[in-house]
Amino acid sequence: MMRLSVRVVAWLVGSLVTLGASAQTGPDDTVVARVGTVTITRGEMERRMRQIPRIQLATLGTSDAEIRKNFLERVLVQERLMSLGATDKKLADRPEVRLRLQETLRNATIQQLRKQAGEPKDISNEEVARYYEQNKERFQGVERIQLWRILVATKEEAQKILDEVRKPEGEARWKELAREKSLDKATHERGGDLGLVAPDGRSNEVTVKVDPGLYAAATKVKNGEIIPEPLPEEKQWAVVWRRGNLPPMSRPLELEAPSIRNLLARQRLEASVKETTERLRKDLVREVTYEGLGSIELSMAGQVTARKHYDVSRHKAAGKPQPAPGPGGLR
């Protein structure tokens, strides 16, 4: 049997899929060629030619008649010959070809579902506006407050620091006190700067999260003011200085409409894929068995190997795979 490269096999797979698609007759089912038991219609030829840029078609001839003739003979007829040749050599029975066919047909199914679900441009303005209103909190920003904090063990110690920084020129000593006293070693070297804190206590500094009570207390003072009493934070106490704020930034519907359209189109597609999968599973899946899966061993490096000696009878419990322990395998 002739040996074929992976590239040629892949090309043949594409031809096989094209062959299957071309079995559907178009508006004009006039037969323009017969290759074995397969026919090529004028309607199919027109559809295929529309998919190819004119500049590429021009390489097939200098006149329309010559281009049509060469497209039929050099492209469509050759595809059918190669497809039938692949069938004759039973290439579709090869594991690597079956896998490629499955992938191609799966992608073709998803493409068809995507076409049925519609493109983002098919989402109406009314749908976009309704989603925006129903999820308005996602598009409305919150005020973030820049907080500096000195964290200590007791309320009494926090009160002493608070008294110190509220003296004339006391704020100038804040960084020094933070370095000397603060128990938060992640921020004490930068004066206890927590970054811009949101109502839930999360900061724009990804490693920082504080008690939301600090934010709530900071809303009651102005920028540049120190909160007038120590604040409890878990089992410790905080002296907090409001340094500034970032006002909430709302994103209007006009700005968010394109992303909402993309989101709704994706949700439609996901729902269609889920519905189709569940229907096909109900109709087509006859049996799923986990026996023997234990013979497939996964190493910690992600390599997949098969054990040469594996006793299936030992691993039939509960309908779940129970791989026997092995060197480097998952347990």
Whether the Cβ atoms of residue 86 and residue 2 lie closer than 8 Å to each other: no
- For residue 24, name the pLDDT band (cuts at 50, 70, 90): very low
Higher pLDDT pick, 223 / 11: 223
Which residues, listed in sequence order, are joined to residue 193 by a DSSP beta bridge? 148
**Residues 6+ positions from 235 with CB-CB distance below 8 Å:** none
Contacts of 221 (CB under 8 A, 6+ apart): 227, 228, 242
Q: How far apart are CA 35 and CA 88, in angstroms?
A: 14
The predicted-structure confidence for 155-170, as pLDDT tens digits, reads as follows 999 999 999 999 988 8
The answer to whether 47 and 55 are in contact (CB under 8 A) is: no
| pLDDT range class, residue 321, cuts 50, 70, 90 | very low
Q: What is the structure's pLDDT at 27?
A: 54
- Is the pLDDT at 331 greater than 50, yes or no? no
Mean pLDDT, range 286-295, rounded to an integer:
78
Average pLDDT over residues 115-141: 89
Average pLDDT, the chain: 83
Using only C-alpha atoms, what is the Rg of the chain? 34
- Domain definitions of the chain by residue range: 6-117, 121-135+250-284, 143-246, 289-331
At 14, is the secondary structure helix, strand, or coil? helix
Q: What is the DSSP string of 21-86?
A: HHTS--S---EEEEETTEEEEHHHHHHHHHTS-HHHHGGG-SSHHHHHHHIIIIIIIHHHHHHHHH
Q: Tell me, what amino acid is at 317?
A: A
Residue 128 pLDDT > 50: yes
Q: Name the pLDDT band for 108 (thresholds 50, 70, 90).
A: confident
Q: Which of 112-116, 149-153, 205-209, 320-324 has the highest mean pLDDT?
A: 149-153
The beta-strand segments (E) located in the chain are 31-35, 38-41, 144-152, 193-197, 231-233, 236-246, 296-298, 304-306
Bridge partners (DSSP) of residue 292 are none
Q: Which of 92-106, 170-184, 253-267 has the lowest mean pLDDT?
A: 92-106
Extract long-range pairs of 293-298: CB within 8 Å, 24+ residues apart.
293/321, 293/323, 294/321, 294/322, 294/323, 294/324, 295/323, 296/323, 297/323, 297/326, 297/328, 297/329, 297/330, 298/329, 298/330
* pTM value surpassing 0.85: no
pLDDT of residue 312: 56
- Give which of 207, 240, 204 is closest to 223, Cα–Cα: 240
What's the whole-number mean pLDDT along residues 90-118?
85
Does position 111 have pLDDT exceeding 70, yes or no? yes
- Cα–Cα nearest to 16, from 72, 62, 81, 69: 81
Cβ(302)–Cβ(277) below 8 Å: no
Structure tokens at 26: 């178009």
Task: For residues 215 and 186, give the distance between their C-alpha atoms in angstroms, rounded to a whole number.
Answer: 19
Q: Which fold has domain 143-246?
A: Chitinase A; domain 3 (3.10.50)
pLDDT at 192 over 80: yes
In whole angstroms, what is the distance from residue 322 CA to residue 312 CA?
10
* Chain CA centroid to CA 184, Å: 36
pLDDT surpassing 70 at residue 125: yes
